[in-house]
Structure 1
Amino acid sequence: MIDQFINEHKLGSAFVNTANEYYIPLANRIALHQKDAKKTFCVGINGCQGSGKSTLGDFLGTYLYQIHALKVVILSLDDFYLDQQQRQQLASTVHPLFRTRGVPGTHNTGLMHQVLEKLSGAGNTLALPKFNKAADNPYPTDQWATVSPPADVVILEGWCWGVEAQSQADLRKPVNQLESLEDSDAAWRNYVNEQLYTHYQPLYKLMNYWLMLKAPDFSNVYNWRLEQEQKLAASLTTMAHSNVMNAAQIERFIQFYQRLTEHGLATLPTRCNEVFELDSKRTIIKHHLAAQLTGTSC
């Protein structure tokens, strides 16, 4: 199973050790928690851009299905992005920086709540949102995957998933050039913070178990995000490359994420059930396992 997963995801041979030492025991713990809960068990994964959230989520889903025969649904915060027209409306009425996807306020949290609730109950076939990053818009709804609820395990991963709002004092000082030059009055970051508190934090309560892939610091994000964009470009035809970012665009793009990424690195580890500390090459160098569970059922 591991060899096939490595081939499908184009991973290095070192992933075998990561899987055997960390991810398989984690999957077994999740299966045990789900069995004890006797209902849909929701797992939240936090990690900065390029940290390996999608790989971890996919591996857990594959293992839980193949080894434990559990019905697993994997969701990404990215797939709930608003479309370009909706973000343009935000840019016109709130702040120009909302043209760019990424921060709280650029996701459809109402749809996210509906999907999470429906996955825990019996009902009709459910379509799962899917965002096309190359086109910077959601895929047409007829291309969304469908599932039949209820799910045994729901995995939701996201770069700011689990991060809580900052204090007003923390918002005053810009963290980078983008905020200093293009958000000098702090209107953008204040609105982001308000959205995080009002619409995202209530959804965190739906998670039963929290995982974090913890980067050494924000300086790693540029190289990791560049790798992601290069992989995206390699997977596309030449005609579809128009929205793939170059190095200079990535350098600007990650500044949108810096504030909450650094805030998450500083505050999330003590609130997660498990934290996997990474080095600059994304190798796990330390693992922290807490005893308690958080949240309620989905």
Structure 2
Amino acid sequence: MSDSELNRTIKALIAQEGLPETYARTVEQTILPLVDHILELYQREERPVVVGIHGAQGTGKSTLTLFLREILGKHRNCPAASLSLDDIYLTRGERRELAARVHPLFVTRGVPGTHDVELGLQIIRKLQAAPPDGFTPIPAFDKSIDDRVPADAWPVFNGRAEVILFEGWCLGAHPEPDAALERPINRLEAEEDASGTWRHYVNECLKGDYHRLFDQLDNLVMLKAPSMESVLEWRTLQEHKLAAKLSGAPDQGVTKRGAQNLRIMGDDEVARFIMHYERVTRFCLKEMPRRADVLIEVGEDHSLGKPRFRAH
């Protein structure tokens, strides 16, 4: 396809995602060089490749993944499938069972231990091995009901994926040294995990099943947040915007269950929610930049810097 067709796709995606027109410059400076990097990787390996996209909440993983998938598939003759770590969460029932068996904090989705790792491995293998006329259902998770979507409603990828874009907030995370787990790092850990059972279990998951899953990555892209404090600020602002949006919406007869699903968290609740992610996020911010294949700095204003490629 021509440059004009590529530009039309970019403009359409920017409008679809409600992004400022200036995002076109981000595509030019950040995303297109990353597209070229992924194509070089694929051509070098001569097989379907898995590209991991890591980033804390609010860093723009989903948006980046969307642009990469559309540009690779429509303009680089390289079919790309996308899979989110969020979409292989354990079902609500499975997390309740884990919470009863190991620790109550596991009822909240997010941390390692709350995903179906085997399902993730299975989907990656199917995408890599699919024939040209095959199809692969991709898992989906509905956060409004805190449960996985029934399998018969999963979106389907047609054919074989030459690139699998796998994104997630803790994707590629390494476990911490055991000694680092002894002291709580926030109020949640001090008050609700005083024995350390929850955080030790999370760390053991990173050593075991998640290590097998992350080993599937041929390349790791890190969207690096400025700090943990920025992540909290972004997530709080997101909740404020959602509250403003809902308060200005006309009453459409929302059901009692629907109202519960749309309940807005207060600032203290957002802070507690982020505490679930804090330990793993802080460790990733500390140690991942030196080993990521591609490092993209995220500014305080959510802007993406130019990609820095690690020499191999």
Tell me what 1:185 maps to: 195
Tell me what 1:282 maps to: 302
CA distance in 2, matches of 1:260, 1:241: 32
Q: What are the superposed Cα offsets for residues 9-56 of structure 1, whole Å, 9 maximum, x if unpaired? A: 111122111111110111122122212322101100100011100001
Secondary structure at the aligned position of 1:264 is classed as: helix
Q: CA deviation at 1:146?
A: 1.1
Tell me what 2:109 maps to: 101
Of residues 226-235 and 9-18 in structure 1, the stretch that sits farther from structure 2 once superposed is 226-235
Residue 208 in 1 paired to residue 218 in 2?
yes
Contact (CA 8 Å) 2:30, 2:306: kept in 1 or not? no
CA distance in 1, matches of 2:70, 2:311: 25
Q: What are the superposed Cα offsets for residues 226-258 of structure 1, whole Å, 9 maximum, x if unpaired? A: 455567786997443423441333221111000
Tell me what 1:28 maps to: 36
Q: Radius of gyration: which is bigger?
A: 2
Q: What are the superposed Cα offsets for residues 56-80 of structure 1, whole Å, 9 maximum, x if unpaired? A: 1001001111211221111100000
Figure out how many residues of one structure are paired with residues of the other and give that number. Answer: 292
Within a 5 Å distance, the mapping from 1:3-42 to structure 2 comes to: 3-42=11-50
Contact (CA 8 Å) 1:53, 1:213: kept in 2 or not? yes
- Percent identity of equivalent pairs: 36
Q: What are the superposed Cα offsets for residues 183-219 of structure 1, whole Å, 9 maximum, x if unpaired? A: 0010000001111111111222211111010011100
For normalisation by structure 2, the TM-score amounts to: 0.88
Contact (CA 8 Å) 2:33, 2:307: kept in 1 or not? no
CA distance in 2, matches of 1:77, 1:256: 16
Contact (CA 8 Å) 2:296, 2:304: kept in 1 or not? yes
Q: What are the superposed Cα offsets for residues 168-197 of structure 1, whole Å, 9 maximum, x if unpaired? A: 111111111000000001000000111111
Tell me what 1:272 maps to: 292
Tell me what 2:82 maps to: 74
Mark the runs of 5 or more structure 2 residues left unpaired by the alignment: 1-8
Secondary structure at the aligned position of 1:74 is classed as: strand
Tell me what 1:143 maps to: 153
Change (3 A) 1:108 1:231: farther
**From 273, 282, 299, the counterpart of 1:262:** 282
Secondary structure at the aligned position of 2:208 is classed as: helix
**From 84, 96, 100, the counterpart of 2:92:** 84
Secondary structure at the aligned position of 1:190 is classed as: helix
- Cα RMSD, aligned residues only: 1.9
Of residues 273-282 and 180-189 in structure 1, the stretch that sits farther from structure 2 once superposed is 273-282
Contact (CA 8 Å) 1:134, 1:241: kept in 2 or not? no
CA distance in 1, matches of 2:232, 2:22: 23
CA distance in 1, matches of 2:238, 2:172: 22
Residue 222 in 1 paired to residue 222 in 2?
no
Within a 5 Å distance, the mapping from 1:150-165 to structure 2 comes to: 150-165=160-175
CA distance in 1, matches of 2:173, 2:307: 20
Mark the runs of 5 or more structure 1 residues left unpaired by the alignment: 293-298
Of residues 153-162 and 238-247 in structure 1, the stretch that sits farther from structure 2 once superposed is 238-247
Tell me what 1:291 maps to: 311
